[in-house]
Amino acid sequence: MPVLNPTRAQFEAMLAMPADQPVYMLNLLRFREQADYGERTDQNACSGRAAYARYGAGIAEILKGVGGRPVWQGDGQLTFIAPEGESWDECLLVRYPDMAAFQAMLTNPDYQAQTFHRDAALLDARLVITHTALVDFPAAD
């Protein structure tokens, strides 16, 4: 079953996580072939991947403002160990200085104003929150 947003219980569990250490968000993304903007007529037709790029561009400064940064992105090639038929178009790893920074981004009205691009873009998604990394990736140039 496709999932695009957290349930209430998942959101509450995220709020209960320790807020004082770096977190890494692993995003698994499956794009729509054609973005679905529904009733919105102010958006030009585009692919789901292009709509997600609009979302990324729209939140870039907000992400930076809370101290977050993408550390790795890759196109999905093969889902090797997964349920039959599960596949992902893109994997993205984003670092935040702490959970409070991630929460600040989510509640920022300017961020919320951009999420319609994400919703239009995605057919399915997963977001895995981790607190530890074997290495601390350097900032992107």
Q: For the segment 16-31, what is each residue's pLDDT rounded down to a tens digit?
A: 777 788 999 999 999 9
| Average pLDDT rounded to a whole number, residues 100-123 | 95
Residue 11 phi, psi dihedral angles, 5° rounding: -65, -45
- Which pair of tokens denotes residue 140? 């992107």
| For the chain, domain boundaries | 21-34+45-130
- What average pLDDT does the chain have? 89
pLDDT of residue 70: 95
User: Which pLDDT belongs to residue 104?
Assistant: 94
Above 70 in pLDDT, residue 72? yes
| Across 43-55, average pLDDT | 97
DSSP labels for 100-135?
HHHHHHHH-HHHHTTHHHHHHHEEEEEEEEES--SS
CATH class of 21-34+45-130: alpha beta
- pTM comes to 0.86
Which of 14-28, 37-51, 100-114 has the weakest average pLDDT? 14-28
62/84 Cα distance (integer angstroms): 37
Question: What pLDDT does residue 132 have?
Answer: 67
* Residue 115, Cβ density class (10 Å: 0-12 exposed, 13-18 middle, ≥19 buried): middle
Strands 69-75 and 122-130, sheet pairing = unpaired
Higher pLDDT, 57 or 18: 57
If one compares 86 and 7, the residue with the highest pLDDT of the two is 86
- Residue with more model confidence, 79 or 101: 101
> What's the pLDDT at 53?
97
